[in-house]
Structure formats: C-alpha cells, structure tokens
Amino acid sequence: MAGRLVTPPPAPERVEAVVVGCGVIGLTTAIRLREAGFRTRIVTKALPSETTSAVAAAVWYPYKAYPRDRVLGWSRATLDALCDLARDPAAGCSLLPLVDLFETPVPDPWWKGAVRSFRRATAADLPPGYADGYVIEAPLAEPPAFLPYLERRFRAAGGAIDVRPEGLTSLDELAADGRLVVNCTGLGAAALTGDDALYPIRGQVVRVTNPGLRRSLADEYGRRAISYIIPRAHDCILGGVAEAGVWDLTPDPAVTATILRRCRELEPRLRDAEVLDVRVGLRPGRPAVRLELERRGPRRAVLHNYGHGGAGFTLCWGCADEALALARAFAATL
C-alpha cells in the first residue's frame, strides 16, 4: 500500500558476518553471531579437525595470553560457559581437578578470581618433591568431541562453512558494503594483516592410553617444567613444550622422550601407558590479544579476534561475547 511504513529488520539481520577461521575461536565467535541474528558464514582453509585447536590439550588455564586484566574477564566468562556445557553429554566437556605444582611456597595465582572452586594443595595432593600448589576444578573441552559439537551447533543455527584450501591472500577479498569480516585466523593473521607482533609458540603433545587417571597435574616452573597430564575420557594428553618463534611442525623424538619421562615421574601409573600419537601445534603468541573493530569505510569493517597464545579454549566464549558486542555496535550504525 502506498505510503505504508516498512519497519526495517533488526540491526543484526541487516549485516552479513563472514568469519575467517574455523578453530575454537572462529567457531565460538560464529555461533554467538549467528545465534544473535547475524547472517553468518565461515570461510576457512581447513575444517576444525585440521586446525591447531584439534591439537590442544584444551583444559581451562590462562596460559601465555595477555593483558591479564582483560584475560581475567574473558577467562571467567569462558569457564562459566564450559561449566554449563559440561551438563550436555554431546558437548564433550567435563570438569576435573587440576593440581598446579610448585617446589617452593607461592602466592595465590593472579587468575584465582576467575574460577569457581579453588583451594591450596595439601600434602596428599602433592607428588614427592613438591612443597606447594593449588587445586581448582577445571573445565576440559575434548577437541575430538567439542569441535564437532561446535560445528553442528553452528550449522543447526543456519550457519554455513565455506572451505577454501587455497586460503585467502587478503581480508579485502571478502569486503563488501554491509558486511562484517571477522578475523579469527590465529597465526594466519600475520600474513593477512601484516601484524608483526604475532609469533608462533610451538607445542608438542603425546597422546597415551589412560590408566585410570582422574586428575590433571601441571608443573610449569619446577624441575620437570613444562609438564602436564590431562586425562580424558578415552586417553591422556601429556605435554609439553612452549618454544617461542619456532615454526617447525615435525614431532621431535627427543622431546617425546622427555615428555614421557617427566610425566611418568609425576604419575607412575603412566609407565605402562601405550603411546597412541604425537602431535605438534603452533600457538598464536602476541603481546596482547587483538580484539577490536577496524573500520574500513562507512559500511565496512573488520573485527579482529586473534592472538590468544596458549589459551584459546580458555578465552573463546568470553572473547566471542565481546566480539558480538562490537558487531552489534557496527550493525547499529548501518
């Protein structure tokens, strides 16, 4: 009818959000956007099972991610989300005791305020040679189950995944009026954005059979540093290393031997565990997580969400929530 006022659609529905990257950061960000009403798709070089996220131990722990004040809030929000998901058997999430070990007395950790359950370790919690520690209830998101859960959830909400094995040479390839490009490419952001603050932190893990372990142990600073034992439903992840600036993805047999020796010293029940696999991943290190909106014109923007160091699974939902707030602010200006 002539003269009839047409009510515009809600702001998110006017915006197409194209998320670049399909690791845990890209998937959780895409889910938040799609479930909030944005027309969302993912463009990725590889499916989730082939990303760095698939290699991660994926236990909640704020590791090599900065700055601390922002990481604290993101970590707390993600812990809450993972605790909620632990009630859903399909999500691949659970809660387990994590004992952080120290050879000398230490103060409470800076991230204590992010956890729900915290106590100082007792003598019964500590392996021989350790004098102090703390015990938290840590969410664990097992990548073989959690990443497919996230992919199913995104697709069920109406999202699509566009796999481009050749990758992108520039984020500008996706630029268009009324479109938000969301950069969740981890280390790939170095080439796509020219960000020379990014650097790899090489990690190597050994996957072994689980001899019945029910708690996680970690020594980051002592004689066995860096060592961690992450028991999962059907196996155990043993680590590890954190080699800054190293790009090599080839498993190092000497590192494997060191990981096995240290972890077996921490937990003697691992002595007869069968080695199932050895994998290497490159964490996206950066002096600070980059989570910001970059305007590329009056109706175009790139939302950056990368540089999470060794804490992608620890920060994912908190960063996705903040990314959604920035996307809504962009949509409100169109």
Query: What is the structure's pLDDT at 14?
Result: 82
Give yes or no for a contact between 237 and 275, defined as CB atoms under 8 angstroms apart: no
Q: Is the pLDDT of residue 170 over 70?
A: yes
Query: What is the structure's pLDDT at 334?
Result: 87
CB within 8 Å of 187: residues ≥ 6 apart: 52, 198, 200, 282, 284
**What pLDDT, in 10s, does the model give residues 20-46?**
999 999 999 999 999 999 999 999 999
Distance CA 250, CA 219 (A): 24
Query: What is the structure's pLDDT at 4?
Result: 55
Q: Is the pLDDT of residue 220 over 80?
A: yes
Give yes or no for a contact between 143 and 53, defined as CB atoms under 8 angstroms apart: yes
Query: What is the structure's pLDDT at 7?
Result: 54
Structural tokens at position 122: 């007792």
Backbone angles phi, psi at 251, to 5 degrees: -60, 135
Give bridge partners of residue 247 from the DSSP assignment.
Answer: none
Query: What is the structure's pLDDT at 9?
Result: 57
Nearest to 309 by CA among 71, 47, 49, 19: 71
Q: Please return the burial class of 204, using the count of CB atoms within 10 Å of its CB with bins 0-12, 13-18 and 19+.
A: buried
Confidence of residue 11 (pLDDT cuts 50, 70, 90): confident
Q: Is 50 helix (H, G, I), strand (E, B) or coil?
A: helix
- 10-14, 160-164, 224-228: segment of lowest average pLDDT: 10-14
Give bridge partners of residue 19 from the DSSP assignment.
Answer: 42, 182
**What pLDDT, in 10s, does the model give residues 183-201?**
999 999 999 999 999 999 9
Distance CA 29, CA 319 (A): 8
Based on DSSP, count helices (H) and strands (E) in the chain, helices before strands: 6, 15
Structural domains of the chain sorted by starting position, each given as residue range(s) with its CATH number in brackets: 14-331 (3.30.9.10)
Give yes or no for a contact between 263 and 240, defined as CB atoms under 8 angstroms apart: no
Confidence of residue 2 (pLDDT cuts 50, 70, 90): very low
pTM beyond cutoff 0.85: yes
Distance CA 139, CA 272 (A): 27
Q: Is the pLDDT of residue 289 over 90?
A: yes
Mean model confidence pLDDT for the chain: 95
Place of tokens 């952001």: 189
Give yes or no for a contact between 328 and 12, defined as CB atoms under 8 angstroms apart: yes
